[in-house]
Chains A and B, each alone.
Chain A
Amino acid sequence: MTTAFRISAEPIDPRALERSLEHASTGACVCFQGWVRDHNDGGSVTALEYEAHETVAVKEGDKVVAEARERFAIHTAACVHRTGRLRIGECAVWVGVSAAHRGAAFDACRYIIDEIKQRVPIWKKEHYAGGASGWVNCATRGPAAADRRVVP
């Protein structure tokens, strides 16, 4: 059985993942991609590094997707999150949902990405222009980022 949530050290292929949602009974498909952007909270970001505890992340991520299936009238839902060092513009996370109707697909997609960000053991280290780095959301940050507050 394939898991609904997956950690990937390899680049995400959103088009291939989207095709995995197709089914004759579905009339709506909502996909979310989180991309690495070049700034955060006023700082210039050059790269991101993601770390995960894969065993616990998959258990918790699967729970999130299962919750979405219970709460919303959807057909298929899946999520893939990257690990490793990512460049600006790369896809860090993909969430896809298919359903008979668009309302449930939008709601379930939003639910999954919001819960993943809150609950799944994945950490993000920002690398800044100038060479400093810092773990996002954590109390101890790189010197250049020490006075920045990051809102999840």
Chain B
Amino acid sequence: MIDVTAHYFAAFREQAGCDSEPVRTAAATAAELFAEVARRHGFADARSRCKVAINDEIASWDAALEPGDAVLFFPPVAGG
């Protein structure tokens, strides 16, 4: 198990009811952590339409998690 912080934005923040939360997890990758928090908070967007950043760098969903990582979950973007 590792300790990381999950950060939520826009629709995810409203669904989770918080900006961020500490998570103790067995998830090895960003994708596994997303599945865990999406289940907990009822995120309905397909992962393929969302993005993840780790420590302020856009990351791939199979990126490995390290203790202390700030994992940023971005719902589908809609700039413009």
Chain B nearest CB from A41 CB (Å) reads 12
**Contact indicator A120/B77 (Cβ below 8 Å):** yes
> Would A137 and B76 be within 8 Å (CB), given that A56-B56, A60-B58, A123-B9 are in contact?
yes
| B11 close to chain A: CB less than 8 A | yes
Sampled A-B contacts (10; CB under 8 Å): A52-B79, A56-B58, A56-B72, A92-B80, A93-B79, A121-B9, A121-B74, A123-B10, A123-B79, A138-B75
Residues of A in contact with B, size category: 20 to 34
Residue A138 contacts which of B11, B72, B80 (CB distance < 8 angstroms)? B11
- Which of chain B's residues have a CB closer than 8 A to the CB of A135? 10-11, 14, 75, 78
Q: Which residues of A contact B (CB under 8 A)?
A: 34, 50-53, 55-56, 59-60, 81, 92-93, 113, 116-125, 135-140, 150, 152
**Contact indicator B78/A124 (Cβ below 8 Å):** yes
